[in-house]
């Protein structure tokens, strides 16, 4: 055994000693495989999960490891899949028996049979995920690399162990995973493999939306999401599940007038925001901020290209899109809706900053005002350096104005100082339209700066407004 091929330093976590001892007790060949090994060589930090392959029963091995561990560790068994999982210290360890797989055309769920380590490595999605380190006492730490995965790691290449057409057709989710790894790791997908993804793109239709979105979210969370997003488009995958986005593609020209390509602009915005925020839902807001431009695009002889109301239309589209893609329909969706709806407001403000407009923006954005400003600054993608500087200067003015107005007027998430109950009591009213009219008038007066966000001023305003409505004080 060549020392060059032995990497005991990868196996310093105490769990590996226990697994090695357990496999000796059961006379099983055992290996750590996949992401743990890949990330060790890529120096990607401490792993959260470890995949163990046993040539034999993975469930039996997990139970034997649990017996050896110092604390009473519970083993979760998944009999359907022939796998088991346990937690030890800070990691999650999954055990599986080595297997070979075959597929039918209509499902990504394989027909599974017991197999050798070689069979198990053959079924792996990419060469860099087929790397295995031995946990057997005789050759502990030895690297098994049948497909030159180490060479691909060094060359930063995503490649399938076997024929890519078969690999991707068998389990089409691997196409999303290939692009996700390319985006996360800044790797190149090998030419033959990339062409195979394009040829098999329609196979993605058999994958559940939940699994697709799981990979899409990981692409969005990568350092430069546009790498993955453009690959999704170029391979025809994006149009299979996200036509709302691909509909933004292209530039039309009428009478010599063009508009910008909102598709590639969107990717720039996502990249820009990724430099300033790791918030997945703010990145979704960046991805969808112009989604309403395709259905609202019109050409006017005098005005040129317009997208009137695209923010409103876009915010309505968010719900349908989230529902179809099985994204959460809770406060996360509402946040994205709000960002899309308000996405142009600070831009308009940047040209004419008035106190009342700032107050309204703070009131409507509430606690999300900072996220909104971050989104709007990311939306500046002009290549003209003078314009770029000018727009950023204007946003700094808006930010300063927001700070001043908020400190003075306290309008963020404010509740008008006069309640409906007080109005009813003051004018001896039962529930009626006039109560709402007075409350709305007070709110508008505060936002317009006619009165302060103050009880006494609001009370006096209530009396005068009630008088106009013919109401008399009790």
Rounded (5°) CA angle 354-358-363: 150
How many Cα atoms are found within 13 Å in the side-chain-facing hemisphere of 9?
6
Q: Is 104 helix (H, G, I), strand (E, B) or coil?
A: coil
Q: What integer is the mean pLDDT of 2-15?
A: 86
Q: What is the pLDDT of residues 28-87, one digit of tens each?
A: 999 999 999 999 999 988 888 999 999 999 999 999 999 999 888 899 998 878 899 999
Residue 423 Cα distances to 11, 254, 418, 427, angstroms: 72, 57, 7, 6
DSSP label of 57: -
| CATH 1.10.110.30 domain extents, the chain | 156-241
Distance CA 432, CA 428 (A): 11
How many Cα atoms are found within 13 Å in the side-chain-facing hemisphere of 32?
29
Output 1 or 445, whichever has higher pLDDT. 445
How many Cα atoms are found within 13 Å in the side-chain-facing hemisphere of 141?
14
R_g (Cα) of the chain, nearest Å: 30
Residue 362 Cα distances to 13, 106, 331, angstroms: 50, 52, 19
* Tokens matching residue 378: 């990311």
pLDDT of residue 385: 87
pLDDT of residue 258: 67
Q: What is the pLDDT of residues 259-301, one digit of tens each?
A: 678 899 999 999 999 999 999 999 999 999 999 998 888 877 7
Q: What is the pLDDT of residues 127-151, one digit of tens each?
A: 999 999 999 999 999 999 999 999 9
The maximal CA–CA distance of the chain, rounded, in angstroms, is: 98
Distance CA 362, CA 378 (A): 19
Using alpha carbons, select from 258, 263, 257 the residue that is nearest to residue 232.
263
Mean pLDDT for the chain overall:
89
* pLDDT band, residue 231 (cuts 50/70/90): very high
* Tokens matching residue 317: 């589209």
Phi-psi region of 418 (alpha: psi -120 to 50; beta: other; left: phi over 0): beta
Q: What is the pLDDT of residues 186-199, one digit of tens each?
A: 999 999 999 999 99
Q: What integer is the mean pLDDT of 222-242?
A: 97
| CATH 3.30.460.10 domain extents, the chain | 3-155
**Contact call for residues 329 and 322 (beta carbons, < 8 A):** yes
* pLDDT band, residue 401 (cuts 50/70/90): confident
**Per CATH, the architecture of 156-241 is what?**
Orthogonal Bundle (1.10)
| CATH code for the structural domain at 3-155 | 3.30.460.10
Percent of the chain with pLDDT over 70: 94
Q: Is 462 helix (H, G, I), strand (E, B) or coil?
A: helix
Using alpha carbons, select from 213, 170, 236 the residue that is nearest to residue 327.
213
């Amino acid at each position: 055994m060549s020392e060059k091929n032995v990497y005991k330093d990868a196996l310093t976590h105490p769990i590996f000693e226990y697994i090695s001892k357990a496999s000796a007790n059961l006379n099983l060949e055992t290996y750590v495989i996949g992401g743990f090994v890949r990330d060790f060589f890529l120096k990607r930090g401490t792993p959260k999960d470890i995949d163990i392959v046993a040539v034999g029963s993975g469930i039996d091995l997990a139970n034997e490891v649990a017996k050896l561990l110092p604390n009473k560790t519970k083993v979760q068994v998944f009999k359907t899949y022939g796998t088991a999982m346990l937690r030890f210290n800070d990691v999650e360890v999954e055990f599986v028996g080595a297997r070979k797989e075959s597929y039918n055309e209509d499902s990504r769920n394989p027909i599974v049979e017991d197999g050798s380590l070689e069979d198990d490595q053959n079924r792996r999605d990419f060469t860099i995920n087929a790397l295995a380190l031995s946990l057997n006492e005789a050759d502990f730490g030895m690297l098994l690399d049948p497909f030159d995965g180490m060479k691909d790691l060094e060359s930063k290449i995503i490649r399938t162990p076997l024929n890519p057409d078969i690999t991707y057709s068998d389990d089409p989710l691997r196409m999303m995973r290939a692009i996700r790894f390319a985006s996360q790791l800044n790797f190149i997908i090998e030419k033959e493999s990339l062409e195979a993804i394009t040829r098999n793109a329609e196979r993605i239709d058999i994958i559940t939306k939940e699994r697709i979105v799981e990979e899409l979210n990981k692409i969005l969370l990568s350092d430069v999401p546009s790498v993955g997003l453009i690959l999704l488009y170029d391979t025809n995958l994006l149009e299979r599940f996200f036509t709302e986005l691909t509909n933004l593609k292209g530039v039309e020209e009428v009478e010599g007038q063009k508009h910008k390509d909102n598709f590639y602009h969107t990717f720039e915005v996502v990249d820009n925001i990724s430099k300033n925020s790791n918030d997945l839902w703010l990145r979704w807001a960046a991805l969808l901020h112009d989604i309403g431009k395709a259905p609202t695009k019109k050409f006017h002889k005098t005005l040129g290209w317009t997208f009137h109301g695209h923010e409103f239309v876009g915010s309505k589209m968010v719900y349908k899109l989230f529902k179809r893609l099985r994204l959460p329909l809770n406060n996360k969706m509402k946040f994205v809706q709000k960002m899309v709806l308000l996405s142009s407001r600070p831009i308009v403000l940047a040209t004419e900053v008035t106190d009342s407009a700032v107050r309204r923006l703070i009131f409507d954005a509430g606690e999300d005002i900072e996220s909104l400003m971050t989104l709007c600054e990311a939306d500046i993608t002009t290549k003209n350096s003078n314009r770029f500087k000018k727009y950023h200067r204007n946003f700094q003015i808006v930010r300063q104005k927001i700070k001043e107005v908020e400190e003075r007027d306290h309008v963020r998430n404010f509740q008008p100082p006069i309640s409906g109950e007080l109005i009813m009591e003051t004018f001896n009213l039962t529930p009626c339209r006039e109560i709402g009219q007075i409350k709305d008038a007070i709110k508008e007066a505060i936002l317009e700066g006619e009165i302060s966000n103050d009880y006494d001023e609001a009370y006096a305003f209530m009396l005068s407004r009630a008088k106009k409505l013919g109401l008399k004080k009790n």
